[in-house]
Amino acid sequence: MVEKILFVTGKLAERQLQRILSAMKPEFSYKINQIGVSVAALMSENILMRRVEKDKGIDKIIVPGRFRGDLDKLSKFFKVPVLRGPDDIRNLPDYFGMDKKKEELNEYDCLIFAEIVDATLLSVSEIIEKAKKYKKDGANVIDLGCMPDTKFDHLEETIGKLKGLGFLVSVDSANDEELFRGGKAGADYLLSLSEKNAFISDEVSSIPVLIPAKQGDIESLERVINSFLIKKKKFLADPILDPIHYGFVESLNRYRKIRQKYPKIDILMGTGNLTELTDSDSAGVNAILMGIVSELSIKGVLVVQVGNHCRNSIKETDMARKLMFFAKKNRRLPMGIDDNLMCLTDRKPIRISDNELEEIKSMIKDKNFRILLTSNGINIFNSDIHKVGLDPYDFYEYLKVDSDASHAFYLGIELARAQIAFELGKNYDQDNELEWGVVKTNKKDLRKRPEKKITQIKK
């Protein structure tokens, strides 16, 4: 038999709950009981027991996730399981196992070449350490960046060690000798060959990335592409992406022309000329670039992380390629699928309405501070006070926690988070960290402080 579920909600969430359940088209049947209070999450057990009818046809009751009443008591009263739903009503499909979107974002059709730009100056062990981090962030190929007029004496050793650890390796150099050495040492790819030095590929088994003989010379790129097609040798072609105001739009047109003329060849795009040379957070830039990459079916991107504003470019590119692949595969916009690239803001930040705020305040009987965001700013209140401000300093003289260091410390943290969330347009949920998407620092990866320093801090 079809399971029948009763959803208990309040006035403010009733319509949204109805829309979500209707869009889900669930296998179970359902009823919605709006119990007459604005904020159902703060309803009491007594209100629920008075206003929800006992229905023998109901198999389960779902209450809001923020309801903190005694579920066992309610289950005994209604004689059916009473369960908490998700904290955020928008996560209801996932609660029922119907929304696996995040789990599905694991496919892609574009390789990430992650360049270690200063490989020449690093030791083998330092290169390996960076390679491991880049691979963890999503890199498929570790690109060894060579430097002009700087000897890379340990090139062969580096390639050997990386290959021994299972890495795919590319050598990126403007020096023919280094490219030749890299190929002989077993590099999987060589960046880059033009018609001027294409002969190197006859001596090594590495797959070359083909580029124009000079900047913007698409005819020379086409000639070298044709020569490799005749030889039936593998390659990637890179028309070269130029910075904004230095040929950016025209360089995009070159990629389009190459794809139109050669619909089946593999193309590579280096993204650093846009990400590194634009004063903008890189997440959005990488998302747009990977959208272009997806439309043109580009099979490889060369990513660099030099500037601090691009410190997460590999992770962002990895997330973006998966997002664009999913959107393309499912013939939909890259929207409403995953918010890991919305790092500095949220699409629809939750702000408590005045009616909700008044309802919540009327139920507070203790001295514990609650912090909520409304369209007017940060609200902090308990049974005695209610203050609204835009900065933690706005509340300093009212909180009266001078003699309670731990409480003051806690409120300082929470008010700082609330300020950041309000100013950036992000969600804020007291006692929880802000969400930063793919750029969030993994604390487990950070080195622990020496025990001695921790002891000093505690004192």
pTM score? 0.75
CA–CA separation, 390 and 415 (whole Å): 9
Kind of pairing, strands 377-381 and 386-389? antiparallel
User: Which residue spans within 147-239 are E strands per DSSP?
Assistant: 168-172, 189-193, 207-210, 236-237
Q: Which of 313, 329, 345 is the last residue of a domain?
A: 329
Residue 126, pLDDT above cutoff 50: yes
Two tokens, residue 352: 């408590």
Residues 154 and 282 in one domain: yes
Range of the domain at 418: 354-438
CA–CA separation, 236 and 231 (whole Å): 14
Assign 281 to helix, strand or coil.
coil
pLDDT digits (tens, 9 = 90+) for 366-407: 889 999 999 999 999 999 999 999 999 999 999 988 889 999
Give the count of domains, the chain.
3
Output the domain CATH number for residue 46: 3.40.50
Residues 313 and 233 in one domain: yes
Q: What is the pLDDT of residue 318?
A: 97
CB-based contacts of 205, cutoff 8 Å, min separation 6:
183
Residues 258 and 382 in one domain: no
CA–CA separation, 244 and 274 (whole Å): 7
pLDDT digits (tens, 9 = 90+) for 68-87: 788 999 999 999 999 999 88
CA–CA separation, 69 and 66 (whole Å): 9
Residues 180 and 210 in one domain: yes
Two tokens, residue 404: 């309670």
Centre a 10 Å sphere on the Cβ of residue 104 and count the other Cβ atoms it contains: 14
Residues 267 and 186 in one domain: yes
Mean pLDDT, rounded, of the chain: 90
Residues 115 and 230 in one domain: yes
Q: What is the pLDDT of residue 99?
A: 55
Residues 406 and 427 in one domain: yes
Please write down the HEC assignment for all residues of 202-234.
Answer: HCCCCEEEECCCCCCCHHHHHHHHHHHHHHCCC
Residue 247, pLDDT above cutoff 50: yes
pLDDT digits (tens, 9 = 90+) for 194-233: 999 999 999 999 999 999 999 999 999 999 999 999 999 9
